[in-house]
């Protein structure tokens, strides 16, 4: 994984799991890699990986079966969607709105661009 300086690494690991859940690559009941496996794959310390898992567990996205491992919770998709939607609305959308206002992009133009983008994404899959 490649990390950037703008966000703590453990939160970038959390975002990695959020993305996998939203893309339905991880579903309810799926076993996820162990703390050690995540640390090795992401090239981080086990403490950083554990911090990410603890954070996800506190949010109710994953749960631990002692001695067996970590699993995706039944509510993971809905909770992840709610968290990421709130984050987008509070953090990204104001900047986005400011940009389209400054560039004088109309809602009609935006809708056209959105539909073209959405079409290109669905035709690739």
- Which tens digits make up the pLDDT trace of 80-89? 999 999 999 9
Quickly count: other Cβ atoms within 10 Å of residue 7's Cβ: 11
Structure letter (DSSP) for residue 105: -
Is residue 2 in a domain?
no
Query: What is the value of pTM for the model shown?
Result: 0.83
Rg (CA), the chain: 18
| Residue range of the domain that includes 92 | 77-124
Bridge partner list, 61: none
- Domain final residue, candidates 36, 53, 75: 75
Same domain, 20 and 57: yes
If one counts the domains in the chain, the total is 2
* Inter-residue contact 30 to 74 (CB < 8 Å): no
Q: Which of 70, 8, 99 is nearest to 45 (CA)?
A: 8
- Which tens digits make up the pLDDT trace of 33-67? 999 999 999 999 999 999 999 999 999 999 999 99
Same domain, 90 and 67: no
Q: Which phi-psi region, left, alpha or beta, contains residue 7 (left: φ > 0; alpha: ψ -120 to 50)? A: beta
Is residue 4 in a domain?
no
């Amino acid at each position: 994984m490649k990390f950037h300086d703008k966000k703590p690494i453990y939160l970038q690991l959390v975002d990695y799991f959020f993305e996998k859940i939203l893309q339905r690559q991880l579903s309810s009941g799926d076993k996820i890699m162990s703390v050690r496996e995540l640390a090795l794959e992401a090239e981080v310390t086990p403490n950083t990986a554990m911090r990410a898992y603890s954070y996800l567990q506190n949010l109710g996205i994953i749960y631990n079966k002692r001695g067996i491992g970590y699993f995706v919770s039944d509510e993971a998709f809905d909770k992840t969607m709610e968290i990421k939607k709130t984050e987008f609305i509070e953090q990204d959308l104001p900047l986005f709105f400011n940009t389209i206002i400054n560039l004088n992009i109309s809602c009609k133009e935006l809708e056209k661009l959105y539909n073209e983008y959405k079409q290109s994404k669905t035709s690739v899959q």
